[in-house]
Amino acid sequence: MKITNAEFTISAVSSKQYPNDLLPEIALAGRSNVGKSSFINKLIQRKSLARTSSKPGKTQTLNYYKINNQFYFVDVPGYGYAQVSKKEREKWGQMMEEYFQTRDTLRAVILITDIRHEPTRDDVQMYDYLKYFSLDVIVIATKADKIPKGKKEQYVKRTRKILQMEQTDTIIAFSAQTGEGKDAAWGAIRHYLS
Ligand code: GDP
């Protein structure tokens, strides 16, 4: 996809702040530090539109990026920090539930995992959580440049198995460093925008 325009639109904490122009939305979820910002920036060919290495404790918001005036990427706050308090976790849960439950323009969720490691309990919980809301999930197994080429298929299969992914959900090996998987990722996204 040729990106002619990519702009930060709003940080939202509740539905009152969501944009109301009815453009389709693709949400992005992943553990903190998994490579979510790098994924977004690689896809839209911007060095740092999405902030990299979001630190624990930073404000937990839904960050809207409008792409080509055609759709939104919605960066959802990272999960799985050990340091997060129970109160913060509850606030996160409420915000996510409001979003996933009510957002009619949400077409699919991209879940970022690290291809090198088995999906964590948090990853599995997140996938289950998204399926609970009957959402379609595209899994991006990132940092593929860090594993031997010959092992890729095996690592992708392992991720699919541990997440117990539904057959209709897609998984793509990706690297923000080499750009591997970028076209496949756009293909999967485009499918949900038509
Ligand atoms: P976020 O917290 O999920 O947004 O993670 P970031 O995008 O900030 O990435 C966390 C770290 O992983 C940074 O040091 C990135 O440079 C690195 N990283 C992200 N994607 C890749 C990748 O595809 N390959 C490699 N080798 N490193 C990556």
- Residue 34 has what pLDDT? 94
pLDDT in tens, 122-173: 999 999 999 999 999 999 999 999 999 999 999 999 999 999 999 999 999 9
Ligand 1: does its nearest atom lie under 6 Å from the Cβ of 170? no
pLDDT, average across residues 95-107 = 96
What is the Cα 66 distance to its own chain's centre?
15
Ligand 1: does its nearest atom lie under 6 Å from the Cβ of 9? no
Q: How far apart are CA 38 and CA 18, in angstroms?
A: 24
Element (H, E) at 6: strand 6-12
Q: How far apart are CA 194 and CA 9, in angstroms?
A: 22
* Strands of the 6-12 sheet, one edge to the other: 6-12, 62-67, 71-75, 25-30, 106-114, 137-142, 170-173
Using the structure block, give the residue that is written with the tokens 């792409």: 67
Ligand 1: does its nearest atom lie under 6 Å from the Cβ of 32? yes
Ligand 1: does its nearest atom lie under 6 Å from the Cβ of 40? no
pLDDT in tens, 43-73: 998 777 766 544 554 568 999 999 999 999 9
6-193 CATH pick, 3.40.50.720, 1.10.3720.10, 3.40.640.10, 3.40.50.300:
3.40.50.300
Domain ranges of the chain: 6-193
Supply the residue whose CA is at minimum distance from atom 18 of ligand 1: 35
Per DSSP, helices labelled H in 50-120 are 86-102
pLDDT, average across residues 177-190 = 97
Is pTM beyond 0.80 here?
A: yes
pLDDT in tens, 73-100: 999 988 766 567 888 888 888 999 999 9
What single-letter DSSP state applies at residue 145?
A: G
Q: Which among 53, 65, 81, 146 is the best mutation to test ligand 1's pocket, defined by most ligand atoms within 8 Å of the CB? A: 53
Ligand 1: does its nearest atom lie under 6 Å from the Cβ of 56? no
Better-predicted residue by pLDDT, 187 or 84? 187
R_g over Cα of the chain: 16
Q: How far apart are CA 89 and CA 58, in angstroms?
A: 13
